[in-house]
Each structure stands twice: as C-alpha cells, then as structure tokens.
C-alpha cells in the first residue's frame, strides 16, 4: 500500500489528511488508528464486492465502526488493471493509472454488482457514503 497526504478545507478550516492505502484484512493496529475507511471494489467483480463485506465485518470485530467514517466506492474498470481490485484506503484509479486501462462496463466486461446491492451494503455499514467512479470519464474522481 501507499501513503499519501492531502490538505482539504471543510467549513473554511484547513485539515491535513494522512491516507494509507491498504490491501487485505485490517489488523488491530490499523483498526485502532483509522478515523475513516474507504472500501473499494470493482463493479465487474462479485468476489471483490463480497470481500469488501468481509473486510467491513473484520474491522467491526476489531473495533466497531460507530465512530469511524466509512465510504464504499465501486469502480468501473477491469480488475487488476490498476492494482488490487479490493482494498481499504484511497488512491486507486488516480491520474497515475495507465491511460489505456479499460474503464467501462461493456459486453466484454459486464457489471456484476448492481447499484441497489451496493447501496444496501452501504446501508448495512451505517454512517457510510456510496460512490461509483470511473477514472476515464472523470465520474466522481474528485469526490
């Protein structure tokens, strides 16, 4: 995983975000320091969606998620073109992605996870925002 810093302004006040990109299951140390978690899955991969649900359950077991801000992000793109299709953190599908990466749902790369299912999982996670993103078309990339 990578580490990133980004300054953001919220309600006129500047905040420094320290972002750590993780792949795989959370451990106790990660669970203890995280203030927010972004779960990322491929819209074309049922297994990546199921893994996100398992990662959330593990995080809940380690810490509980009542005081952790959560986001669920479904990405359009062929799994593996920009790294692991499942993860926690941020930075997946950023401008550093290869320009020829497929980033669309099509007959050769059909959608496996419907919007309603993703939104239902987000509802089960509580305090969770849901976004779909596509780096090629710029859909929700800056959110």
Mean pLDDT of the chain, nearest integer: 76
Q: What average pLDDT score do residues 1-20 get?
A: 84
pLDDT at position 135: 72
Per-residue pLDDT, averaged over 47-74, amounts to: 89
Judge whether 68 and 35 are in contact, CB under 8 Å: yes
Q: Where are the beta strands (DSSP E) in 43-103?
A: 69-75, 87-88
H helix intervals, the chain: 28-33, 46-62, 115-125
Q: Per the structure block, which two tokens stand in for 49? A: 């969606």
DSSP lists the bridge partners of residue 7 as 16
> In this structure, are residues 39 and 88 in contact, taking their beta carbons and an 8 Å threshold?
yes
Q: What angle do CA 31, 82, 122 make, to 5 degrees?
A: 45
- Are residues 100 and 78 in contact, defined by beta-carbon separation less than 8 angstroms? no
Output the CATH code of domain 34-77+109-134.
3.40.50.300
Q: Which residues of 7-23 are buried (b: 16+ CB within 10 A; e: fewer)?
A: eeeeeeeeeeeeeebbe
Phi, psi of 30 (to 5 degrees): -60, -45
pLDDT over 80 at 55, yes or no: yes
Question: What integer pLDDT is reported at residue 36 of this predicted model?
Answer: 86
Q: 10: which 2 tokens? A: 């919220």
The pLDDT of residue 88 is above 70: no
């Amino acid at each position: 995983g990578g580490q990133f810093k980004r300054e953001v302004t919220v309600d006129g006040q500047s905040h420094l975000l320290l972002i750590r990109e993780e792949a795989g299951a959370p451990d106790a140390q990660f669970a203890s320091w995280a203030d927010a978690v972004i779960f990322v899955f491929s819209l074309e991969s049922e297994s990546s969606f199921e893994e996100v649900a398992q990662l959330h359950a593990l995080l809940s077991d380690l810490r509980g998620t009542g005081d952790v801000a959560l986001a669920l992000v479904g990405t359009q793109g062929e799994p593996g073109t920009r790294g692991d299709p499942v993860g926690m953190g941020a930075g997946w599908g950023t401008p550093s992605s290869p320009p020829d990466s497929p980033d669309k749902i099509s007959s050769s790369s059909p959608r496996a996870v419907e919007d309603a299912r993703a939104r239902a999982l987000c509802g089960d996670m509580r305090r969770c925002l849901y976004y779909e993103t596509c780096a090629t078309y710029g859909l929700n990339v800056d959110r």
